[in-house]
Amino acid sequence: MSRVVTTATTTTTTTTDGGLFNVGYGRSVQGLLKIAQVVTLLIAFLCVHCASVWTDYSALRYFEVVTVWFLITFLIFFLMHVLRLQSKIHCINWTLTEFLHYVIGTILIFIASIVVAVKSYSVSGLVAGSVFGFIATFLLAVNLWLSYKVTCGSQPTSAAV
């Protein structure tokens, strides 16, 4: 009686860019939207902040606080994706966190832009700030829709009978 032993080995290799930076994220749709949001919010903040005549201090301060807060938040999210930090910190669901920030940001920036548009009284800096606020609201709504498709999109169901 002779025995034949057959051994099969399988080698799998994955080619991932193990570098520190995810340079391709800045060229993706999500990355370009985040860059556009940060730039638009920065321009909106600067337009209102540098306006020579303020008509209502509390309303314009609200706009400044909201735009700066979400500018910093989206800049942090962008840097997290570029530095791949979301894959290193597993205790937080980053897709859900970003989705909730987009929901809250879209609502608050839209309200702030309406308030500045109403209180502008044809001051050119305030009108420009409110316009850029509305543009940022649109960009946030687009990013909200795209992240909704990822976070809450249709889940494949398999019904075995």
Residue 115: inside a domain, yes or no?
Answer: yes
Q: Contact at 8 Å (CB) between 133 and 63?
A: yes
Residue 118: inside a domain, yes or no?
Answer: yes
pTM listed for this prediction: 0.78
* Lowest pLDDT segment from 49-53, 92-96, 147-151: 147-151
Residue 68: inside a domain, yes or no?
Answer: yes
Taking the C-alpha atoms of residue 151 and residue 126, their distance in angstroms, rounded to an integer, is 36
Give how many domains the chain has, as a whole number.
1
Taking the C-alpha atoms of residue 75 and residue 35, their distance in angstroms, rounded to an integer, is 8
* Lowest pLDDT segment from 4-8, 18-22, 86-90: 4-8
Residue 5: inside a domain, yes or no?
Answer: no
Q: What residues contact residue 25 under an 8 Å CB cut-off, 6+ apart? A: 31, 81, 82
Question: Distance of CA 128 to CAs 42, 44, 58, 89, 117, Å?
Answer: 12, 7, 18, 39, 9
Q: Is the pLDDT of residue 66 over 80?
A: yes
Burial of 71 (0-12, 13-18, 19+ CB in 10 A): buried
Residue 56 is predicted with a pLDDT of: 79
Q: What is the pLDDT of residues 78-132, one digit of tens each?
A: 999 999 888 888 888 888 899 999 999 999 999 999 999 998 888 899 999 999 9
Residue 89: inside a domain, yes or no?
Answer: yes
Residue 141: inside a domain, yes or no?
Answer: yes
Residue 3: inside a domain, yes or no?
Answer: no
Instruction: Calculate the average pLDDT of the chain.
Output: 85
Determine the structural domain holding residue 64 and report its residue range.
24-148
Residue 14 is predicted with a pLDDT of: 40
Residue 154: inside a domain, yes or no?
Answer: no
Residue 22 is predicted with a pLDDT of: 87
